[in-house]
Amino acid sequence: MSAADNSSAEASCDALAIDPTIRRDALARLRSIRGHVEGIVRMLEKEDVYCVDALKQIKAVQGGLAKTSDTILRGHLTHHVVTAHERGDVEPIVAELMDVLKYR
C-alpha cells in the first residue's frame, strides 16, 4: 500500500461512526451507570457505610461498563472490521483494534 493509500485508509477509519442504535443503547447504559456512580458517592459520604456494600455497588458499575464496552466492540466488529477489506483499510483497522484490546 502506498503512502497516499495508507493516508486515505486512515482517514476512512476516522470517518467511521458507531451505529446509531448501538450509540443510543450505550448512552442509555452510561446514563444509568452515571446515576449508579452518583449513588455510590452518596453512600461513601456516609460515615457508617459498610465496605462490602460499597464494593458490591462498584462491581455492579464495572459490570455495566463492561457490558457497554462489549456492545460497542460487537458493533465495531460487525460494522467496521468485517468490511475493512472492502474499504481498503485493513491495516489501520487491525492496528486500532489491537490498541483497544490491550486495555481489556
pTM as predicted: 0.77
Q: Give the cell for residue 35.
A: 446515576
Instruction: Tell me the pLDDT of the chain (104 aa) as tens digits.
Output: 444 444 444 455 667 899 999 999 999 999 999 999 999 999 999 999 999 999 999 999 999 999 999 999 999 999 889 899 998 999 999 998 899 888 87
pLDDT of residue 65: 97
- The domain 3-101 is placed in CATH, from the list 3.40.50.720, 3.30.300.20, 1.20.58.1000, 3.40.50.11810, at 1.20.58.1000
Q: SS3 letters for the chain? A: CCHHHHHHHHHHHHHCCCCHHHHHHHHHHHHHHHHHHHHHHHHHHCCCCCHHHHHHHHHHHHHHHHHHHHHHHHHHHHHHHCCHHHHCCHHHHHHHHHHHHCCC
Q: How many CA atoms lie within 13 A of 11 on its CB side?
A: 6
